């Protein structure tokens, strides 16, 4: 227990949880916005946009991280990892939310608008309630993916549990330290699952 309650474990927990929270929130905004544009607007070329919006799933995060790091000098750290993971992970929200929007009852939205609610209030009060399970599922996938990602965070030198476990085990030959950090990461993952 004393090895779990260290300054390193606390710092890694804060950074890993912060990265997961930032990326999940950004993916929710991007995913829901993209899904709404594809399903509920008359966007020209929206079928092509739907394919392009899902395309980041085909690019591994470590390749995206390497490309960004090669293109932009000094692109590393927490916020660099957040950008890369967001751009690679938002389709986990986009795809289920788009499917939920297709099946959502638009009559409820029309009733809300006819009662004088603004488009924004209708979206937040009616539409989001209908797509909440898909949105929660997509956000859970993103959070779990961020907790487990090693490629992007290692290339971008962001301090997270996965990178620290690798350093402790492979470079530091510290099996006990790696085990302790892994156990804390598993506990964080279980907390995320329980919270959902």
**Interval 130-162: pLDDT, tens:** 899 999 999 999 999 999 898 899 999 988 878
Nearest to 168 by CA among 40, 9, 5: 9
**Interval 94-129: pLDDT, tens:** 999 999 999 887 788 778 878 888 878 888 788 888
Give the number of other Cβ atoms within 10 Å of residue 4's Cβ: 13
DSSP for 147-186 reads: HH--HHHHHTT---HHHHHHIIIIIS--HHHHHHHHHHHH
Residue 17's φ and ψ, nearest 5 degrees, are -65, -40
Q: Interhelix angle for 175-195 vs 7-40, to 10°? A: 40
Residue 34: Cβ-neighbour burial (10 angstroms; 0-12, 13-18, 19+): buried
**Residues 68, 72, 74, CA angle at the centre, nearest 5°?**
110
Note the helical H segments in the chain.
7-40, 46-54, 61-71, 78-89, 91-103, 106-114, 119-122, 128-148, 151-155, 161-166, 175-195
Rg of the chain, C-alpha, whole Å: 20
The more confidently predicted of residues 6 and 88 is: 88
pTM summary value: 0.84
Q: Which of the four pLDDT bands, split at 50, 70 and 90, describes residue 65?
A: very high
Q: How far is residue 42's CA from residue 186's CA, in Å, rounded to a whole number?
A: 44
Per the rule left: phi > 0, alpha: psi between -120 and 50, beta: everything else, 181 is: alpha
């Amino acid at each position: 227990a004393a090895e779990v309650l260290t300054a390193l474990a606390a710092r890694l927990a804060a950074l890993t949880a912060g990265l997961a929270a930032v990326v999940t929130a950004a993916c929710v905004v991007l995913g829901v916005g993209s899904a709404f544009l594809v399903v509920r607007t008359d966007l020209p070329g929206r079928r092509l946009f739907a394919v392009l919006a899902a395309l980041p799933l085909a690019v591994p995060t470590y390749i995206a991280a390497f490309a960004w790091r090669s293109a932009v000098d000094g692109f590393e750290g927490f916020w660099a990892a957040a950008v890369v993971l967001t751009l690679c992970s938002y389709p986990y929200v986009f795809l289920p939310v788009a499917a939920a929007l297709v099946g959502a009852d638009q009559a409820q939205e029309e009733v809300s608008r006819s009662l004088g609610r603004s488009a924004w209030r209708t979206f937040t009060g009616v539409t989001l309630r209908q797509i909440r399970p898909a949105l929660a599922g997509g956000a859970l996938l993103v959070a779990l993916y961020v907790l487990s990602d090693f490629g992007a965070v290692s290339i971008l030198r962001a301090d997270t549990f996965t990178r620290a476990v690798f350093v402790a085990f492979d470079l530091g030959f510290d099996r006990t330290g790696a085990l302790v950090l892994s156990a804390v990461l598993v506990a964080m993952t279980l907390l995320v699952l329980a919270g959902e």
